[in-house]
Amino acid sequence: MGMSENSKGVILAVASSAFIGSSFILKKKGLKRAGATGARAGVGGYTYLVEPLWWAGMITMIIGEVANFVAYVYAPAVLVTPLGALSIIVSAVLAHFMLNERIQKMGIVGCVSCIVGSVVIVIHAPQEHALNSVLEIWNLAIQPAFLIYVAATLSIVLALVLHFEPRYGQTNILVYLGICSLMGSLTVVSIKAIGIAIKLTLDGISQVAYPQTWFFVTVAAICVITQLNYLNKALDTFNAALVSPVYYVMFTTLTIIASVIMFKDWSGQNVSSIASEICGFITVLSGTIILHSTREQEPPPPVGTVTWYVSNDSIKSPEDEHLITLRSSDYYEP
């Protein structure tokens, strides 16, 4: 007996989480190295583009995203997206050992909650609805309810980019991650449409000639670039163990909302199954909140402080050096 479509989606989603969770740590270490030699990404710098470790993280993330991409072809978003909680566990554990971002005992409880909630969602997840043409997906995308969601999403993103980012981007994590998550929800529905089009094309029903296929490709490309840009800023500005769970909570919630509106994932399910999925999702969210609240905060970078190590003896250790420190509060020019 062959493996079910949902089972294939679950396996791919779990593998995706492992790769993506690791990529957060690799990219964070790359951003730290790049920030030590040039302008930080959080203040508009792009020196991380020449940092090999950042690219290692990018390659790892791409592998994870490809696996995630294929998972959406086989299983509904309400099943695939919550399994991203496993990437939080991976990134939290790796951050504990590689970035010295300590995970407390309650954080372990949060990890367990994420796993339990994910299992509940897998058990009660709906089966994927069969779609036979990109035109069917297009008809779902131009439903009034989904168009309202898209208009609201783009309006909020513009407000965050134009008004809130210049004022609060460096102090409030919700600004950068809000942009990532909102655009991410549109990315997922576009990626799912592209995946179905590719699958149908490989099965002999070509979808290449439809302009709607290329529209979804364009939307996905724009959304992915925007996500990566603001995710880099969030990772460079805030603690990696804080970025991962908050991003997951916001991204997953908005993606499920978008998918339920567009693809009607819960259509045909009974109230009991839907309630179980919601409970599982809330359990996962609770786990991420526990994990987030028990992690150490990363101190902000010092402002207005310059330190030189002055010595003619190259063998001396930093502890033996003479230090000269200038602070902005010591020299003020009106």
Output DSSP code: residue 161. Answer: I
What is the per-residue pLDDT across 91-124, written as a single tens digit (0 to 9) for each? Answer: 888 888 887 777 778 888 888 888 898 889 888 8
How far apart, in Å, are the Cα atoms of 184 and each of 13, 69, 105, 267, 284?
A: 16, 13, 31, 23, 19
Q: Which residue has the tokens 């399994």?
A: 83
Q: What is the dihedral of CA 118, 124, 129, 130, to 10 degrees?
A: 90
What is the per-residue pLDDT across 193-248, written as a single tens digit (0 to 9) for each? Answer: 999 999 899 888 889 999 999 999 999 999 999 998 998 899 888 877 678 778 87
As a whole-number percent, the residues of the chain with pLDDT over 70 amount to 84
The pLDDT of residue 108: 84
pLDDT bracket for residue 279 (50, 70, 90): very high
- 302 pLDDT more than 70: no
Cβ atoms of 178 and 226 within 8 Å: the answer is no
- 15 pLDDT more than 90: yes
Q: pTM score > 0.85 for this model? A: no
- 69 pLDDT more than 90: no
Tell which wins on pLDDT, 33 or 62. Answer: 62
Taking the C-alpha atoms of residue 176 and residue 161, their distance in angstroms, rounded to an integer, is 9
Tell which wins on pLDDT, 288 or 182. Answer: 182
Distance of CA 128 to the CA centre of its chain: 23
- 276 pLDDT more than 60: yes
Cβ atoms of 88 and 244 within 8 Å: the answer is yes
Taking the C-alpha atoms of residue 227 and residue 110, their distance in angstroms, rounded to an integer, is 26
What is the per-residue pLDDT across 175-193, written as a single tens digit (0 to 9) for each? Answer: 999 999 999 999 999 998 9
What average pLDDT does this structure show over 2-26? 87
**Average pLDDT over the chain, rounded to an integer:** 82
pLDDT bracket for residue 128 (50, 70, 90): confident
The pLDDT of residue 288: 77
